[in-house]
Amino acid sequence: MSQDDPEQKQDALPPSTVPSCQLSFRGLSDNHEWNERFIRNFQDVLFTCGRYMDLSLLDGVTAGFDYDDALASVDLGYESTVARQYTNEGGLLGVAKVLRVKREGGIKVHAVFDAKVVGALAGEEICWPAVNIVAHELAHVTVIGWFQAHSPGVMLAPHKGDWAVATMREVAHTIWEEYAACRLCAPLTQGDAVLAIYADSTELAVDGAMDKAREAIKAYRTHGEIDRLLVETTGRVANPLKMAAYLMGHADGQETDFDAEDRLPATRASEFWPLLPDLLTALRAAWESRHAWNGLEGEDGIVRVVQDALARAGAIVTLQQEPPGSRVDVPFSAATMPNGEADMAVIRMLEPWRPG
């Protein structure tokens, strides 16, 4: 066997970390040959990923043509109304997800895939975007393992402390996890196709996001619920940041310079553009310290970027763990009033007169 033999190279890698776990393939096609090829290639990708990543927390893998059914089939080990939810708005549709599950008093991770998308693995040629989808979700298993190692018992536990700090850190954690998973699995894919997909998704997410955040502020002028305001505005500004984190993580994982000018030309005119350098810096800092966090505090650099995005939308969030706690201010502006400039004209009329 020559030194260049691929089988010898593979044997030189560490053994796969995939544990003994359940692999479930639901509602596959009537084509027996297609099913065999899909399952075999899927398993090859799974066990290859286990040579490069620590998948010891993997509880199981489920792939099905009915994605909602596949998600519903997983026993979480606890009650949750949000754990199985996935992105389905603004032209973005989730096709794979990891579910944190409780098993024997501990946390494990179950990966779920939409077989309509990763079914491309059944082809004769390697479909790198499909490989990346599988590798990306499996990378989340490793990322969750890092968190469990430095902060056991925190994940899935009730929030403690200030409500706004907890909300913002949860949002930052979602952004961080996508960056970390992309950076970890990027070396397992080839070519530029995945970077192009992430760039397109980022620009799609940026389009109209600030307007949607301001619509949430306008709604707050009527309902007056500050917690609802924070959740709704943060969700709208965080999604573009999360999609940018996918792109940044994949670029860093492939050791490719992240060039926003080249990758995101349509974003240059948006209010998110000035946030991108700070986001990249915060994500890289979190990566460097990823094994030494205390809970979610290691992501506070990302929290500050989200705060900046909210301020640009019109919601100024001041975070404070100690009493009196955090506050959210929404100064009056034409962009955040239900009737725009007409409302602002009334507000100016009602302001106390001040002699010049």
- Please determine, for residue 1, whether its predicted confidence score (pLDDT) is greater than 80: no
Tokens of 289: 């310290």
Q: Region 6-29: what's the mean pLDDT?
A: 79
Q: Region 3-24: what's the mean pLDDT?
A: 72
- The whole-model pTM stands at 0.90
| Residue 348 pLDDT class (50, 70, 90 cuts) | confident
**Whole-number Å distance between alpha carbons of 167 and 165:** 5
Segment 217-224 long-range contacts (CB within 8 Å, at least 24 positions apart): 217/313, 217/314, 217/315, 217/330, 217/336, 218/336, 218/337, 218/338, 220/330, 221/336, 221/337, 221/338, 222/338
What's the confidence (pLDDT) of residue 355?
52
Which is more confidently placed, 192 or 153?
A: 192
Q: Region 259-270: what's the mean pLDDT?
A: 93
**Of 60-69, 87-96, 155-164, which has the strongest mean pLDDT?**
60-69
| Lowest-confidence segment of 16-20, 123-127, 312-316 by average pLDDT | 123-127
104, 59 contact by CB (below 8 A): no
| Residue 125 pLDDT class (50, 70, 90 cuts) | confident
| Residue 333 pLDDT class (50, 70, 90 cuts) | very high
What's the confidence (pLDDT) of residue 3?
42
| Lowest-confidence segment of 90-99, 273-282, 301-310 by average pLDDT | 90-99
| Lowest-confidence segment of 1-10, 22-31, 126-135, 196-205 by average pLDDT | 1-10
Q: Region 97-113: what's the mean pLDDT?
A: 94
**Whole-number Å distance between alpha carbons of 130 and 43:** 13
Give residue limits of the domains in the chain: 1-157, 161-356
The phi-psi region of residue 183 (left if phi > 0; otherwise alpha if psi is between -120 and 50; otherwise beta) is alpha
The 10 Å Cβ neighbour count of residue 104 is 6
The pLDDT tens digits of the residues spanning 268-293 come to 999 999 999 999 999 999 999 999 99
Output phi, psi for 134, to 5 deg. -65, -50
> How would you classify the pairing of strands 88-89 and 327-329?
unpaired
- Please determine, for residue 262, whether its predicted confidence score (pLDDT) is greater than 70: yes
The maximal CA–CA distance of the chain, rounded, in angstroms, is 92
Output phi, psi for 64, to 5 deg. -150, 155
The 10 Å Cβ neighbour count of residue 44 is 12
**Whole-number Å distance between alpha carbons of 190 and 208:** 32
Give percent of the chain above pLDDT 90: 76
